[in-house]
Amino acid sequence: MKLLVTGGAGYIGAVLVNKLIDAGHQVNVIDDLSNGFVENVGENANFINGSILDNDKLNRALEGVEAVFHLAAKIRVEEGERQPELYKKVNIDGTLNLINKCIDKNIKKLVFASTAAVYGDPEDFPVNEDSKVNPVNVYGLTKLEIDKYLEKNAKSLGLSSICFRFFNIGGALKTKKGNWLKIKHEGATHLIPSILHSSNEKPLLIFGNDWSTKDGTPTRDFVHVVDLVEALIKSLTKLEIPGNQIINLGTSTGSTVLEVVKTAELALKKTISYRFTNRRAGDSFALVTSNEKAKQVLGWVPNKSLSEILQDAQAELLANH
């Protein structure tokens, strides 16, 4: 198939592009490189350097395409709080622009990268696709806007779409050539990069130790990027009937921040320095998903452990930075 991956030079996108090409697909990539690296794309993909807000480049990227994986987005929670207009422009307007172009060009298959952030501070543990949505940050709000748009309009547009709500993603991919796809670490605020970059001089900051969890630190659901991408690729065969599906992607196993630190110490054979600080605005105590729907609809089961996620993340850091 000929496919478009928006954001295909970024963290998840680059792994997806690599795996799609390995599976024999033709792949176009559009990426403005604000969160990615051109060397991630590989010479077998057709790369267009530009934004999804640039109509000329988007038209080029969509040429002859049968299905679109839409991963391009602004994704940093803190930045979204500071620059809500930018986040709305890229994540909402940019996506609607892409959807309209797909309809114009008779492209009927769309996979959308949504986020667990749409659930906000959930009451359910684990959450599922029917859990109440209540985003507590701009990033989550912008993603939910598209989920809702597709829920309401996909069928009447003749579009077959899946909104995947990603939980916490970690790990990295070593390609068949033997290189690790690059991950952007500057400004990263997620837990695993923060653990890897911590030191005695700059300890890991744990935001709150008074949450209602077993050790007082927030609980998260970590899924390996390679497992996650496998679910995205499996979804290509499930885009036959017009309408939208929402599917959560996670392991359904929760780990507290302190448990992740302890696992990191064992997996990476080093001591992790950390200190507690105040809770962050927009954080939730626990975000863990059931993955029953992913199992039923896609036949997807994640295989990689938290230790493997940490080891691969460390290997990428040592190889590329």
The one-letter code for the residue type at 214 is K
Q: Which residues are the active-site residues?
A: 139
Q: Among candidates 130, 56, 133, 66, which has minimal Cα distance to 97?
A: 56
CA–CA dist 315, 31 (Å, integer): 25
Give the sign of the dihedral formed by CA 281, CA 285, CA 290, CA 291.
Answer: positive
